[in-house]
Structure 1
Amino acid sequence: MAFLGSLCTHALLAWLILTNLNSCGQQGNFGVGEEFREVGLYVLEDRPSEEESEQTSEATPTERLPDLPENLNQTLDEMPNLVSSLPDFDATPLIGPGPAPTGVSREDPAAAFLNAAQPPPLSAAGIPSTTKFFDIATRGQSIVYLIDCSGSMSKHNAFRHAKAELVASLERLDPNHKFQVLFYNDQFYEFRDRRGEIDIHWATAANLTLARAYISQFDNSGGTIHFPALMKALSYKPDVLFFLTDGADPSLSPRELEDIKHKNRGKTAIHCIEFGLGPDLLRNNFLKTLSSQNDGTYQYRDMSKLGS
């Protein structure tokens, strides 16, 4: 009986073992079309937990911000002083064509030609620089010179000295001036520009060159008639009239002096230069009256002391 019990026990154990082996060998039902995947074991690296990560972040040192000054308003008040102490730098514009190179003009050639043909603008004060004639200084934009060229002006080379002083006065003009030169004896002669026009002309280099040639060709001759030449000179309505003559005689009549004063109406300053022989006798004459009635100056010159 013991033998039969032991045999049954071993048989049961053998059946259980076989049953378990068959169960491990089954592939199982993983669904249609699915493939079998290999399964392996992998060793995971040690990773810190979320709590450890947070603790690590808190423990990492960060850059410390500078402390604000205790008195912030005082520091802000000192900022202008700090800015003013900074060095100055040339601010070069980043946009635009920039300044024109030195000596290079960007003006259109056609525009430059037109500008050259136009009269120059007035100065800032509206009055050009001072000019003078025989040491009579004056200011004005338009100037007329009226010069006696009668035969009597040949004494002591008076006419030659008059022309030299006239050229010197013209050289003092700048392009903002306008001028006219009249010579007269028993008639008058007016300066013309290159187009032959008689007018009061701008003191351009071209006009001044023509005026010098016009002056140099003149010689003195004939008699002396003052009034028509004076009225013609005033017809240009200049700011200044320089009137030079050696002819205190014949003088202007009181009626002629009044007509000149009425025509002028104080618009033109008439400066009179008298060429005489010997010292000034300080006697009254029409030249002194003419200048005093028209806001001008009178000057006497001894022809014998003008030089050779």
Structure 2
Amino acid sequence: MPAAFTEMEQRTARWQTNSPLLVVPSWAASLAIHSLILLILISSLNRCDSGQTGGDEGELRSVGIYVKQSPDADQPEDSDQEPLESPENPQVSQAQEQISEVMEQPPVAPLLPELNSKMLGAGPTQAPSAPTTDLTTDQLMSPSTALAPPVMGAGNVNFFDAVDSGKRFVFVLDCSGSMAAPQGAPIRKARSELISSLAGLNHHQQFQIIFYNTTTRAMQHRGKSAELLYATDINRTLARQFIQSVEPDGGTDHLPALKRALSFNPDVIFFLTDAKHPQLSSADLNDIREQNGGKAKIHCIEFGEGFPVKEGNSLDKLARQNKGSYRYYNVRKFIKHR
């Protein structure tokens, strides 16, 4: 038993003598442990760089690393001197090189996109300027202010399949005695088509209605002189009353009615008559063309019985000379059969 114990003590002494732990000095072991901790810290920082950087508000921050060496480690006398490499500990040398690379990197500057008008939007627009003068109570209550929109707008209008667009329209209708025959069909059809055309106007368009025989009669509003009226609901209602109040009577004189229509400076004139006679003369046609000056389109609608005759027809010439169209309707088709 004592011999076996003595042999075990000898083996223990030989192991302690040959152990590698006795070869490494304590300062090197301490430096290795601290270097391992720094490697773990560097690895964590690299993983953080792959994600979102910055604080809660997304701002980038410069990060510095302070390395505290072990008291047992040897301090180099010259700061410019390169760190010593231990041939027995290559891992320590590699860790020191990685630490130096990290410390030498400059702070990262935040790369934020430049702000431009597309990112910020168009911005607030300037509010429209207020009127220079205040409206009085009488002006606010006047029909022109209360009923008429301030801006005109274009749109299509259909009158007896003559379709045209514009802002200002004048309807000129023959109300001579011949419009009552046969059986009142011509004047009845003219009224219904005119009311339907007015219903197709929008509130930003203007209109005027002229009935004529040997004299002319234009629509007036509240006793004022005849003028273009906006197609508001109340003005269309007043127009229906005016249309229904006209009864066929008297003879026919085309020229004064057409000249009065041109005096309103319209974009489009719809001209309806059933009178082949009297025809518009060449002098009348030239007079109308000169006064119009190519500004208004004149569409002509003729009522008659039988087949249309276009040769020498002054209405067809009137339409062609003023960029309009010509249409003929047999009034016999307007008669209601009971």
TM (norm. structure 2) is: 0.57
Tell me how far 1:119 sits from its aligned partner: 3.2
User: What do the CA deviations read for 1:12-67 (whole angstroms, capped 9, x no partner)?
Assistant: xxxxxxxxxxxxxxxxxxxxxxxxxxxxxxxxxxxxxxxxxxxxxxxxxxxx9994
Q: Residues 175 and 130 from structure 1, CA distance in 2 versus in 1: closer, same or farther, beyond 3 angstroms?
A: same
Residues 176 and 203 in structure 1, CA contact (< 8 A), matched pair in contact too:
yes
User: 1:53 aligns to what?
Assistant: none
Structure 1 stretches of 4+ with a deviation exceeding 6 A read: 73-76, 110-115
Q: Does 1:147 align with 2:176?
A: no
> Contact between 1:122 and 1:128, CA under 8 Å: does it hold in 2?
no
Find out whether 1:295 has 2:323 as its counterpart: yes
- Rate the CA distance shift 1:220–1:118 in 2: closer, same or farther, 3 A: closer
> Which residues in structure 2 correspond to 1:1-308 (within 5 Å)?
67-68=44-45, 70=47, 72=49, 117=146, 119-122=148-151, 127-156=153-182, 157-308=185-336
| Structure-2 separation of matches of 1:243 and 1:216 | 18
Distance 1:304 1:120, change over 3 A: same
Cα distance change on mapping 1:66 and 1:283 into 2, 3 Å: farther
Distance 2:200 2:45 in 1: 71
CA distance in 1 between counterparts of 2:258 and 2:166 reads 19
Letter in 2 for 1:307: I
Secondary structure of the 1:243 match is strand
Determine if contact 1:69/1:75 at 8 Å carries over to the other structure: no
1:65, 1:120 → 2: CA distance?
A: 75
Q: Is the 8 A contact 2:319 2:325 kept in 1?
A: yes
Question: Retained in 1: the 8 A contact 2:207–2:229?
Answer: yes
Partner SS, residue 238 of structure 1? coil
Q: CA contact under 8 A between 2:298 and 2:318: conserved in structure 1?
A: yes
SS of alignment partner, residue 130 of structure 1: strand
Q: Is the 8 A contact 1:194 1:210 kept in 2?
A: no
Matched AA of 1:120: P
Return the offset for 1:279: 2.4
AA aligned to 2:252 is T
Q: Distance in 2 between the 1:176 and 1:209 partners? A: 16
Relative to structure 1, the CA distance from residue 73 to residue 291 in structure 2 (aligned partners, 3 Å threshold; closer, same or farther) is: farther
Counterpart AA for 2:319: S
Percent identity between the two aligned chains = 38
Aligned residues: 210
Task: Name the CA distance, whole Å, in 1 between partners of 2:141 and 2:177.
Answer: 45
Aligned partners of 1:74, 1:186: CA distance in 2, in Å?
92
Distance 1:234 1:65, change over 3 A: farther
Deviation at 1:135, TM superposition (A): 1.1
Give the drift of 1:118: 6.4
8 Å contact from structure 1 (residues 180, 190) kept in 2: yes
Q: What TM-score comes out, normalization by structure 1 length? A: 0.62
Deviation by residue 1:180-200 (Cα, 9 ceiling, x = unmatched): 100000111010012433111
2:155 aligns to what SS in structure 1? coil
In structure 2, list runs of 5 or more residues that go unmatched: 1-40, 59-136
User: What letter is aligned with 1:303?
Assistant: V
Matches of 2:179 and 2:267, distance apart in 1: 27
Aligned equivalents of 2:179, 2:223: Cα separation in 1: 31
CA distance in 2, matches of 1:232, 1:66: 95
Give the root-mean-square deviation of aligned CA atoms: 2.9
The SS at the match of 1:166 is helix
- Structure 1 position 173, deviation (Å): 1.0
Q: Distance in 1 between matches of 2:173 and 2:46?
A: 86
Q: Provide the residue aligned with 1:9 in structure 2.
A: none
